[in-house]
Structure 1
Amino acid sequence: MNRTARLYALVEELRAAAPRSLTVGALAARFEVSTRTVQRDLQALMETGVPVRTTPGRGGGWSIDPDMTLPPIHFTPEEASALAAALAAADASTPYAGAVRTAAQKIAAAMTGPASAAAQELAARIVTLPSPSDTTVRTAVERALTTNTVLRLSYTDAAGNDSDRVVEPAGLLTADGRWYLIAWCRTRQAGRGFRLDRITAAAPTTEQAHPHDLTELLRGSAAAGAMQPTTLAPLTPRLEKPKAPLR
């Protein structure tokens, strides 16, 4: 059994035992490897975000939260190849690029059979030219969006003019391979779009931002016709239909 297969099998072994924990010795015997190998594998799972945890002392061992893991996913080879291509497009300048890598590892561990082989075969034939990226800026933008907090940034516009802004993030716009932060600009008292690669500095704050409707901020701009990508529709919360009144 190669390491990738063993990592996946470790997750499934811990899932099957949950909420009970398993000792390193028991896992080593199960997979016929050394305890040191199992320790390295479990550490690798933790570093990629898999919710495994250890309990020290007598009766302790390793366990996993089954609600936070993926069961085997039955992708078709075409679906798996599409995922490989989409993940490859998420370069270092893409928002949440770091999380994309760990998510890809989890998805890969959950794929089996022909789908896994198809994704691996296509992944081996995709290359990219790395683009420069300020991870400090990207991380600050990600944090502001995730926590809905005010962001202070320095920006250089298309004409080369520099300015400092205080903004309340509303969302992200992607167009022609570029990413834009759409926000309410307190400095201009209006909705504005900031191209991520033109943000020269960004500092997060702890101040809570006011909620802003993304569509309203885009109204009247060149991006007024922007729509949600159809591929993201399954991730969008569905609003319940109002119940008919009782008669």
Structure 2
Amino acid sequence: MTPQQRQPAGRATGGDRLGRLLNLVPYLLARPGIEVAEAAADFRISEKQLREDLELLWVCGLPGYGPGDLIDMALDGDRVTITYDAGIDRPLRLNPDEALALVVALRMLAETPGIGSRDAIERALAKIENAAGELGDAPVAVRLPAGTERLEAVRGIVERRHAMRITYYTAARDETTSRVIDPMRVLMVGNRGYLEAWCRRAEATRLFRVDRIDAYEELDEPAAPPARAVPHDVSDGIFHPSTELPLVTLRVGRASRWITEYYPCEEVRRDGDEWLVTMRVTDLGWAQRLVLGLGDVTVLAPAALVVRIRDQANAALDQYATP
């Protein structure tokens, strides 16, 4: 087997290359003048890949990239020698605290439902536990957040390709409904589990937060999403504001400034000791409940939301009126 055959194209990841680069410098320092072919064979990569790694190392350094900050080397034909190591003179080693932190994080990741590449996570965990020795066998209990069992149960139904009947709470409309759905996949977005499915009631693809599913039942019939059931693009999050949604303008005080970091906003502008905030919302009822739950917020637009807030505030005040 030649070095070119050792690592088929497409299998290496950025993490693989970073680990190799961190170990390549001390390896070459210990073997000045080593042949490129021999080094490539030791790292089980092709000579072409090794030369690309050397080119990348040659431009690595501290910001400013002066002559004394970059890794320097001499490449004489088929032989390479490191002439300046920029302080990377030892293979990467984890201290006990770092190793234990990685073990705990990987154990939690391996137990989290809906996570892909579980085999890769378990392989990485096994390597770190083996390298950590006795520390890797430490009895560290990993306790997952509440609702994990439900997420795992829903994931099982998706894998069995069965339809479901769910009772679901919709926060935007503050209502609970019962519906039959055809599950498509389970997603983890922002530390929350979502069930993506074709909703027969809405006749559209919907994302259901698993923690808002009050009850569920696995049906005997198979899940059969129609051809027009297109998965959502969640690469930029769940909520995608569009110009068709109502635009809300608020005057926000310091105590409620946090909403500009928690919710997507189109504009946040300082106005004295307050902020003018514009944001798209899926439903004015949701916006009404949000504003009423805040203390130092004034609604400027739209007019319909201003009327809603005023009417509900007056109704609340009437409850205190003396008969």
TM-score, structure 2 normalization: 0.34
> Which has the larger Rg?
2
TM-score, structure 1 normalization: 0.42
**Bigger RCO of structures 1 and 2 (CA < 8 A, at least 6 apart):** 1
